[in-house]
Structure 1
Amino acid sequence: MGNQLDRITHLNYSELPTGDPSGLEKDELRVGVAYFFSDEEEEVDDRTPSDCGFTKDHSPAEEGPFSVSEVEYSAFCSQECIFSKLRENEDLNVYSAKTLLTMCKPGDLLELVATAQAPHWAIFEQDDQVIHLQMGEIRKDSLLEISNGRHGRIVNNRYRYRPLPADLVMQNAVGHLGLSREEICWTNSESFAAWCRFGKREFKAGGEAHSAEQQYFLKVHLSGSGVHTLVFRSLEDMIRERRRVDASGILKELSLVNGGKE
């Protein structure tokens, strides 16, 4: 399996169809499914860029770009790349929240990052406002206020699914404002924001049926220890483990395929 994944790592990325193109799903798989919110993300105190692990790029711009040391990934389902975070293929530089706001348009997917912390994702609305899942609630907040020293970037193309039109992305996000823990079916900010943009039920906890053929493969590029491949039964499980690695830098050895190291 590891060799097969090595071969498909370099395939051209193809767009995959979304679930419901309206983003408003019907007849969802709710029978026997316990939806829950995992309060995995801690708030960050105000920090300087260096405290968050950022180093200034050689640029005259006072507000960035910055680079940060991060674990890199690629992910596959049915031999198709569905997720990529590889410095060799894309610009992973980040910007201050103030600069990031000048780059955004409604419906953009944003990622705030800091060293040794799971990234925080949000949907840009307008002005300085974003809609996001934080501390068990779908909220609208100022990006400048919630950044807390973190820098960010636009990650519209991180997932290789076909995005919904911007107005439907905003409809998904705004339509869930105010939901709290017992009503939320996403386990983290990334799953919620990605669902808003792509409309795929797989981003919800328990949102996809399991089958023997359906598997997700995550290639984890850890500095100094090679590339590891992990296998998961659901997209949500894969997201949760990847975010745990981002926060700790440690792999769960029992999840590794063929011993993990390729």
Structure 2
Amino acid sequence: MGNHLDRITHLSYSELPTGDPSGLEKEELRVGVAYFFSDEEEEVDDGGGGVGYTITPCPSHESPGAARELEYSAFCSQECIFSKLRENQDLTVYSAKTLLSMCRPGDLVEILSSAQAPHWAVYEHDNQVIHLHQGQIRKDRLTDIGQGRHGRIVNSRYRYRPLPADLVVQNAAGHLGLNSGDICWTNSESFAAWCRFGKREFKADGEAHSAEQQYFLKVHLGAEARSGGGHTLVFRSLEDMIRERRRVDASGILTELSLGVSGDKE
């Protein structure tokens, strides 16, 4: 499996059509998965002590962040759908004040926290962001949710074709005030990514599964990131893959998952 993924890492991807750009879909069929996650509470609250990998906020001056961040690439079948690799992207992080001067309506913003998964939000305008926080879709000031943390714009992290910026903002604003019983996303990243790309796969229970469709998450470890090595995990939905990657970001711990299809450690 690992060798197969090495061969497809640099393949170009097709621009996939976006769909489901508005509204909630509550009547979707749940397809069972073979493992479970505890609910993550990764939102911008800073607490809890993860072990292993942590993110250290940058000092007050702007400097390259992500010195300890894990790098990932992800695939649906043979299409690269997600990439976080230094060789392809600038992973520098910025103070909230500097980030504010860089943001445009519809941008996806990632706020980094120590020993927690990053927090994602959709930038609206005038320092306002819309995000999923503690089970609620809410609007806050970017500088407030930053709370001294650093962040970056992550529009290119997912390799899907984005919706127009006004529709991205409309998607986010249209769900303001909804609570956990009424929303279809399990974390801030899935919500923000759905707003920008409109793909139902980001929703909980949002995709029809097939025996042929699988998601592969390749975690690039240390020097292996430069040599193409790493640890590959296999998932049956985009939602599950996102949740596991965020769990690893928060804890630094890789686990073998019992999915009926095991990932390869190279």
Which category of TM-score, normalised to the shorter sequence, fits these structures?
0.7 to 0.9
Could you tell me whether the CA contact under 8 Å between 2:218 and 2:232 is conserved in 1? yes
Amino acid in structure 1 at the alignment position of 2:19: G
Matched pairs, number: 248
Q: Which runs of 5+ in 1 are unaligned?
A: 46-50, 57-61
**Alpha-carbon spacing, 1:88–1:229, altered in 2? closer, same or farther (3 Å):** same
Write the distance in 2 (CA, Å) between the matches of 1:164 and 1:153: 20
Q: Secondary structure at the match of 2:65?
A: strand
**What is the Cα deviation at residue 63 of structure 1?**
4.1
Write the distance in 1 (CA, Å) between the matches of 2:14 and 2:30: 33
Q: Secondary structure at the match of 2:6?
A: helix
**Alpha-carbon spacing, 1:67–1:181, altered in 2? closer, same or farther (3 Å):** same
Partner in structure 1 of residue 42 of structure 2: 41
**What is the Cα deviation at residue 252 of structure 1?**
1.3
Write the distance in 2 (CA, Å) between the matches of 1:81 and 1:157: 12
Partner in structure 1 of residue 8 of structure 2: 8
Could you tell me whether the CA contact under 8 Å between 1:122 and 1:193 is conserved in 2? yes
**What is the Cα deviation at residue 181 of structure 1?**
1.1
Could you tell me whether the CA contact under 8 Å between 2:29 and 2:205 is conserved in 1? no
TM-score, with normalisation over the residues of structure 1? 0.87
Could you tell me whether the CA contact under 8 Å between 2:62 and 2:93 is conserved in 1? yes
Partner in structure 2 of residue 94 of structure 1: 93
Partner in structure 2 of residue 172 of structure 1: 171
TM-score, with normalisation over the residues of structure 2? 0.85
Equivalence map 1:11-22=2 (5 Å): 11-20=11-20
Write the distance in 2 (CA, Å) between the matches of 1:171 and 1:207: 20
**What is the Cα deviation at residue 14 of structure 1?**
3.8
Could you tell me whether the CA contact under 8 Å between 2:57 and 2:149 is conserved in 1? no
Amino acid in structure 1 at the alignment position of 2:255: K
**Alpha-carbon spacing, 1:10–1:152, altered in 2? closer, same or farther (3 Å):** same
**Alpha-carbon spacing, 1:97–1:141, altered in 2? closer, same or farther (3 Å):** same
**What is the Cα deviation at residue 224 of structure 1?**
6.4
2:231 corresponds to 1:261: no
Could you tell me whether the CA contact under 8 Å between 1:107 and 1:170 is conserved in 2? yes
2:253 corresponds to 1:250: yes
Partner in structure 2 of residue 161 of structure 1: 160
- % identity of equivalent residues: 72
Write the distance in 2 (CA, Å) between the matches of 1:199 and 1:179: 18
Could you tell me whether the CA contact under 8 Å between 2:31 and 2:209 is conserved in 1? no
Q: Secondary structure at the match of 1:122?
A: strand
* Pairwise CA RMSD: 2.4
**What is the Cα deviation at residue 32 of structure 1?**
4.9
Write the distance in 2 (CA, Å) between the matches of 1:127 and 1:32: 39
